[in-house]
Structure 1
């Protein structure tokens, strides 16, 4: 009798967690330190240190850090950096929280600025990154937006950013021209934009509905423009509701997007690659994605048939917006936390070396560095949009439209993603959506 896919995945995850627990229990030097004791005294004794990651194994961050760790090991025989990679985010979170509960986290571990991570910081289990960067004289090098994305609600910083991205709306100017429309100036222009494109037989917006977070981005846009970043902060802390004006406006806007046929038929079952292919093949007019896709959207990799027609615009505003036009989703990715329990002279010395070397190495891959000290290498075959996006990174505002999936508790977030699909499909009304979500929010805030 064979196991079901669900049971097989659970068994594999359990085995992975058990292996990581065993590995983590063997790691680490001293008895630990306090979060602000960032320069512990003692001998630097090379050993293996581990980093629990949630990043693509072949991505720029891991590639750069492997190179840097190898360089460090040249002068520190016996040192190695063990990368424990789990790119699948739900599986990673389960592993991370299991290790944290067992007090077996390795020296370094990935985390967003979630309520769970804040609990670890409150328990003095993470090094204060503000203090560390100041001690290393590196704080001034980082983009403020990159650091701010990693901060907790109280402004404290316990994660190091390794990326910086701009999320924009890529569009096909030829399809817009054929439909006789211009780029939307406000979010309220989206429904009519979609109707005009539909009349020309064009799919308005390509959406990866399978992974759910792309649609959740749309839920974040109207509240950000209407009430600022404070709305999601208050929502997750039980100080705001979905029935508040900003939440109600967002639900009604999304319902209109669905009514106007903004997304492709069957969007809820369309995956990341297929959604992107709809846009890059010229079958969809708009695609909302970040600069991590510059290599595919702004180089010769892009189909020659659409290459000259591709452009982008940033998040449109609304009438009476409280945020600026240059403020939108500018994430610095999942951050890296430093385990205070295993922090010692070696960990500090390696981080001092790595954080100084990293910007140049990472920017050399064509990516935007989280610092302003390294110039992004524009790859051969890049279009003018590549340079434009890189230059635009220097102009972003202070407020960030935070992705809601990194802010809400897991139960509320899962319910939100499910209800959003139903809302856009027209299976529920905005009023039903709001009632359900406020009940879910209240239930999970009581937990």
Structure 2
């Protein structure tokens, strides 16, 4: 259920003890002039104007601001006329802390990257700081600008009935596989967990490493645990843990970790899974060092780069995380994340800012895809002529998805997330049993 806005909580959001941060340049610049021309379509009152449209991002991310800059001089030039884009950036390593400081002084930019921690974003929504985009889209006439799967993912992430952020990325996750290696072992893409186990055994027997995973990073392994649980127990299984209605140490949850640990015990992740990082794992897959690679569609940039991809993009297939026989979940529920969502502040929201919101919603997906190859959660109406078949496949998967599920740690505490990802590699090497892993994570979540 969407939380009712509570502006009284605004002061509580300000982070205490942060120190004197120099954030004057990051304040929302939208000077509001209520004496301007025209009237609002719904109420007949005078339209409100702004002298600038401010955006705040992280210095580590240039894709969003580059896309906005292109929109300003292109599709959004009318919105920018009199209300130019004024971008700013701060370091992302303390992003949530600095957003809290800005929120506490009512100085959030008109548009900014959303809080990295879902619970903080929920606090902003509770305090009425973030624009309700479901309502705004209805008023602006842009219903349908966000793909249903992406909208569902964001609502699930923030536990709201309405949309409060836009998906500048949208990533599906699943197994990418080397078609040649599958052919060599005589296996087909599996649709059930038992078939996945059988395929791994056949690949191993053929002298082919079945799985590649960045065990030192942990999360590519814990994704498998979470997905097994969601397929087995249903899409709300991990939220039940977060709500205290279930425990990761319950036998039916341990079964998910045990299933992944069994793959590790069999040696299916290779002899050094615990020491392999993300870049090494990516290189291993793209040079033919293993058959199956669980990863998000953000890897398309690597797959579509012929210098990195030595096996050829035409040799990469994809299959959804398999069903667990007899489970309550469905293979149609796609593991997904919205990458880097962006939010709009309610403070200094004017008709001019609304024009920007409308234009971003209608055009961001086209420009990001054409200029950066970025698959977003927006409806795309223009496909680049040179778009790869893999990118088209991902778009089709997203468009046809009937539901989505979040990753294993999405509703965990920060400590629980750290402990999970630190120990995930132990499942891939056989160093930890499923029960041992779940006990560690459950204890960390309880703090």
Q: Give the TM-score, by structure 1 length.
A: 0.82
Distance 1:66 1:270, change over 3 A: farther
Moved over 6 A (4+): none
Which structure 1 residue ranges, 5 or more long, are not aligned?
1-13, 32-37
2:257 to 251, 257, 273: 251
Equivalent residue, structure 2, for 1:146: 150
Which residue of structure 1 lines up, in the alignment, with residue 219 of structure 2? 213
Q: How many residues align?
A: 416
How much is the aligned-residue C-alpha RMSD, in angstroms? 3.2
Does structure 2 conserve the Cα–Cα contact (< 8 Å) formed by 1:69 and 1:354?
A: no
Conserved 8 A contact 2:287-2:310 = no
Q: 1:357 to 1:47 in 2, by over 3 A?
A: same
Gaps of 5+ in 2: 1-17, 34-41
Question: How far apart are the structure 1 equivalents of 2:321 and 2:203?
Answer: 19
What is the aligned partner in structure 2 of residue 82 from structure 1?
A: 87
Q: CA deviation at 1:277?
A: 0.9
Q: Which residue in the other structure is 2:281 paired with?
A: 275
Does 1:310 find its partner at 2:306?
A: no
Kept in 1: contact 2:217–2:421 (CA 8 A): no
**Alignment partner of 1:421 is 2:421:** no
- 1:198 counterpart SS class: helix
Between 1:295-304 and 1:116-125, the stretch displaced more is 295-304
1:146 and 1:370 in contact (8 A); partners too: yes
> Which residue of structure 1 aligns with residue 444 of structure 2?
440
8 Å Cα contact 1:127-1:339 kept in structure 2:
yes
Q: Does residue 1:370 correspond to 2:374, yes or no?
A: no
Q: Aligned to 2:21, what secondary structure does the other structure show?
A: helix
Distance in 2 (CA, whole Å) between partners of 1:329 and 1:393 is: 11
Residues 1:286 and 2:292 aligned together: yes
- 2:170 and 2:375 in contact (8 A); partners too: yes
Distance 1:427 1:415 in 2: 15
Does the alignment pair 1:231 with 2:227? no
Does structure 2 conserve the Cα–Cα contact (< 8 Å) formed by 1:416 and 1:437?
Answer: yes
Q: 1:24 aligns with which of 8, 23, 26?
A: 26
TM-score, normalised via structure 2 length: 0.82
Are the counterparts in 2 of residues 73 and 80 from structure 1 also a CA contact under 8 Å?
no
- Kept in 1, the 8 Å contact 2:53–2:353? The answer is no
Q: Which of the residues 106, 109, 112 maps onto 2:112? A: 109
Taking the aligned partners of 1:29 and 1:269, their CA distance within structure 2 comes to 53
Aligned residue for 1:364, secondary structure, equals helix
Matched, 1:240 2:246: yes
Q: 2:414 aligned to 410, 415, 420, which one?
A: 410
**Pairing 1:23-422 to 2, within 5 Å after superposition:** 23-25=25-27, 27-29=29-31, 42-47=47-52, 49-53=54-58, 56-57=61-62, 59=63, 61-71=64-74, 72=76, 76-77=81-82, 79-84=84-89, 86=91, 91-100=94-103, 103-111=106-114, 114-151=118-155, 152-298=158-304, 300=306, 303=309, 305-365=311-371, 366-379=373-386, 382=388, 384-398=389-403, 400-422=404-426
Once the two structures are TM-superposed, the CA of residue 358 in structure 1 deviates from its matched residue by: 1.9
Cα distance in 2 between the residues matched to 1:159 and 1:206: 33
Q: Which residue of 2 aligns with 1:3?
A: none
CA distance in 2, matches of 1:250, 1:66: 45
Render the CA deviation track for 1:23-43: whole Å, top value 9, x for unaligned. 234634359xxxxxx999544
Separation in 2, partners of 1:62, 1:269: 35
Q: Which residue of 2 aligns with 1:8?
A: none
Q: Mean Cα displacement is larger for which, 424-433 or 98-107?
A: 98-107
User: 1:195–1:139: structure 2 CA closer, same or farther, 3 Å change rule?
Assistant: same
